[in-house]
Amino acid sequence: MIQPESALNAPRDANHAVRRGGRAARRTSGNGANAAISNSIQRMIPAYQLLDEEALVAIERQADWILKEVGVEFRGDDVALALFRDAGAEVSGNRVRLDEGHARHLCSTAPAEYKMHGRDPATSFVLGGDHVVLMPGYGSPFVTDLDQGRRYASLEDFQNFVKMTYMSPWLHHSGGTVCEPVDVPVNKRHLDMVYAHLRYSTKPFMGGVTAPDRAEDSVAMARLVFGEAFMEKNAVIQANINVNSPLIYDDTMSGALRIYAAANQSVAVSPAIFGGAMGPVSQAAIVAQTLAEGMIGIALTQLVRKGCPVVLGSFHSTMNLKSGALTFGSPEANLSSFAMAQLGRRLGVPVRSTNGGQITAANSADGQAMQDSTSSMWASMLSGANQVWHAAGWLEGGLTMSYEKFVLDLDHCGMMLRMIQGLKVNDEELARDSYRESGPGDNFFSTSHTMEHYSTANYQSDLIEAGPYETWLENGSQTAEQRATSKWKEMVNAYEAPPIDPGVDEALKDFIHQRKSGVPDAWY
């Protein structure tokens, strides 16, 4: 099992050593320029401040008004209701109301930033502050690739995406339900998913939340690897708690929240509001409602265990109000990303990107997909969000994970991470010696400065076609999607599993066997 941090950097023997994919990782990490930032996830450019103080205060007052005058229901969770009642909230039936400022006060014990620990200390990261964490898509029941087309996702697909996420230097978090392995019974697939995250990767990950026992199983499996004592003080696993917007927490979500909070593990509270359906159509109202729903969820984590690490999350989308279809990458949703990031910083907790990374309603990895995804990703990165979900693979409004879009998105993630490193201005970067070597009308190809920096000066894409038309023709006239097909297959074939203590691996397998054999399969 993982040792406390004082021992994390101690030498480890072959049975305990873990590494980031060996030769496979080196082959996929790009050249010098890419490798130079692959382990750096700290923002070096300022976050965009969309709203002024007056607007921010108005939204915060609206959130307080919602919590006081309307309230939030916690359905079927008497424990949560009792915790709020004991904390001085007004509880009437299932509905909880909080006076102005009360929710914010309860949230104040949540940490502004904290470390999430990977199985390999090298894959740990910090959430909060100026740190940026990217993770793959989440929750898709389908997968697609150019060879096989669209189909229900399998456990093999899930494992493939975990492996590729592990190999990528641009994704820091292994994700959760990267795709839904529908070939495994509903009540048992969480076991296989958590095992895949723990065995095929060393990066922090998400556990099950769709039933209390699945949340308990996820935490228990993490303890087999990291140890209970370590997890009492350190976060290694994260829960995605979706609010049943508008203004409802069902007992499944609040119950899972309490299990992870009690274990001192990271809880991402994520209202999901589609304007005109789960909330008003106006973005200001949606943002205020999100803040209200998020604060009361974070408040509950702190009532369960003060200091529990949290993330203020959300998932916003606009709708085509004529058809009811969701739209992604819209200017309105992007504006809400900026607003929520500001409000989260004022609340003093890490923030999940509101609009969600590289999301799209497109049905293939085409021009629309790239337009939607690029628009949304730019907003996510410039907003100052700390955790960007759905950074790779998302298609069809989240219904599908695409192998080709996954690697295309990875390439763009690398570009975005390079961009937030900012522009360095120093004597070396100003390169005066180059002008002394190369005068007016000369080129700079052979100057000492160029030779020294040529491999690190610019981000180097593995997929972008930048050669002449004739060369492209000679090479088969491949589209970006076709090049991406070759790339993801190369990654899967090159994958090397990180070592794990055989005893720990056996304990995980025994736990899974016991839990699976103890209950009949459920398909629903």
The residue whose two tokens read 């990291």 is 226
Of 34 and 68, the structure prediction assigns the larger pLDDT to 68
For the chain, percent of residues with pLDDT exceeding 70: 92
Closest by CA to 369, choosing from 336, 338, 398, 340, is: 398
| Least confident span in 14-23, 286-295, 330-339 | 14-23
137: domain CATH number is 3.20.20.480
Give CA separation, 502 vs 15, 17, 21, 508, 509, in Å: 7, 12, 18, 10, 11
CB 187 within 8 A of CB 521: yes
Containing domain of residue 143, as a range?
6-46+108-419
Split into its structural domains, the chain has a count of 1
Range 153-169 average pLDDT: 97
- Using the predicted structure, report yes or no on whether residue 35 has a pLDDT greater than 90: no
Evaluate whether residue 116 is within a structural domain: yes
pLDDT given for residue 316 in this prediction: 83
Evaluate whether residue 480 is within a structural domain: no
- Using the predicted structure, report yes or no on whether residue 13 has a pLDDT greater than 80: no
Range 386-406 average pLDDT: 97
pLDDT given for residue 14 in this prediction: 30
pLDDT in tens, 429-475: 999 999 999 989 999 999 999 999 998 999 989 898 888 999 999 98
pLDDT given for residue 40 in this prediction: 54
Biggest CA pair distance of the chain = 81
Question: Both tokens of residue 171?
Answer: 């994704």
Evaluate whether residue 194 is within a structural domain: yes
pLDDT given for residue 320 in this prediction: 80
| pTM for the whole structure | 0.92
pLDDT given for residue 462 in this prediction: 84
Evaluate whether residue 182 is within a structural domain: yes
Evaluate whether residue 51 is within a structural domain: no
For the chain, percent of residues with pLDDT exceeding 90: 85
- Using the predicted structure, report yes or no on whether residue 101 has a pLDDT greater than 60: yes
pLDDT given for residue 169 in this prediction: 94
- Using the predicted structure, report yes or no on whether residue 257 has a pLDDT greater than 70: yes
Evaluate whether residue 440 is within a structural domain: no
* Burial bucket for residue 197 (CB in 10 Å: 0-12, 13-18, 19+): buried
Evaluate whether residue 152 is within a structural domain: yes
| Least confident span in 14-18, 54-58, 106-110 | 14-18
- Using the predicted structure, report yes or no on whether residue 32 has a pLDDT greater than 80: no
Evaluate whether residue 492 is within a structural domain: no
| Least confident span in 213-222, 327-336, 502-511 | 327-336
- The C-alpha R_g of the chain, in whole angstroms, comes to 23
